[in-house]
Every structure is written in structure tokens, then in C-alpha cells.
Structure 1
């Protein structure tokens, strides 16, 4: 399951990085790309901390229940939808988020209230 999640993330990044940007407003496109890249780094750091067995339980709970979903929904997903509107849908991206969150909840035995 972990491989599936990481593979999905890697494919998303590869597709986004390899395709030409064809926005009507290049400045808007640059802003979305910058937002996506920044958010991608933040999400990568969250996933690294969740995979680190030395991360305190309270931090894991905060990441999986609050920080990761908020970053994904508020920054990563809107930027990706703006950059690749024909390749992604909000529903598909929310399903990917749910899959990742559920994986870590199960792996780390975390329940969000």
C-alpha cells in the first residue's frame, strides 16, 4: 500500500514536471507552479516525518489529522488543478488524499477526532 501511495505521488510529480505549461495567463501559471512546488516540498516533509519511527505520536497525529489534509486541500490540490485541469479532477485528488490518510491512520494506529 505504501508503494502504491508513493508511486501515485511520484507519477503525479513526473507528469506535472514533464508537461509543457499552457496557461492563458503566464503569470498566473508561474504562481500556481510556485505554489505547487512549495506545497509538494511541505507534503514530502510530512510524509518523511510520518515514515520516521522516531517522530512523536502527538506530531504524527497532528500531521495526519490536520496539517497534511489542510496543505493538500488548500495549496497542493488547487495548484495542481490549475496546472493540469484536463488530467486531474477534484474528486480524483480527494480520493488520493483519503487513500494516503487512511494508509497512515492504519499504519500508525491513529484515529482523528
Structure 2
């Protein structure tokens, strides 16, 4: 996963988490999109011109957007970091196996509907 893509999804997740925790008047809807092998050219909000991404650009312009981030060279560690919010040496026993007791983004959002 490329740094801009990891950055983008980190921004979306953080934005949505703050929206869910900051509002009690109505439940919020969360859309989480995960994709591999998308570079900086894939989104207009990062200056890319290869694809037309008006909806993603709109989300980025109205929310928080990271411009510097680090990602693992393989997709599995990056996915686990997104799911758990923890560094890889803290969230798995061996490659690709998440311990059953590990709390994920999905577990944290269950209380919100």
C-alpha cells in the first residue's frame, strides 16, 4: 500500500471516528474503503490528474487529510494497523494471524449501531 493511500484512509477513519464520538443527536454512517496499489496519481485531492475522483476529493476537502504517513511494504501489516490502530509488533502473533482477543475498528463501532 502506498503512503498516499494509507494516509487517505487514515484521514477518513480519524474523521469518521471524531464525527461519531462528537455527536449524540443521530447515528452516523461510516463508509470504509480499502484498496491496494493506488499511488498519489489516483486521487485529485493529492494532486493526481490521471483519474477523476470528485467524490473522494469532496470528502478530503471537508475533512481532515494527512499529508505525511508511513506504511508497511506489504499489504497485510498495513491492513492490520488500520483495523486495530496498533503497530504490527503489538497486534499479531505471527504473519497474517490476528489474535481473537484483539479489538478492531469494527468492535469499537458496534456500540454505535
Higher helix share: 1
Q: TM-score, normalised by structure 2?
A: 0.40
Q: TM-score, normalised by structure 1?
A: 0.40
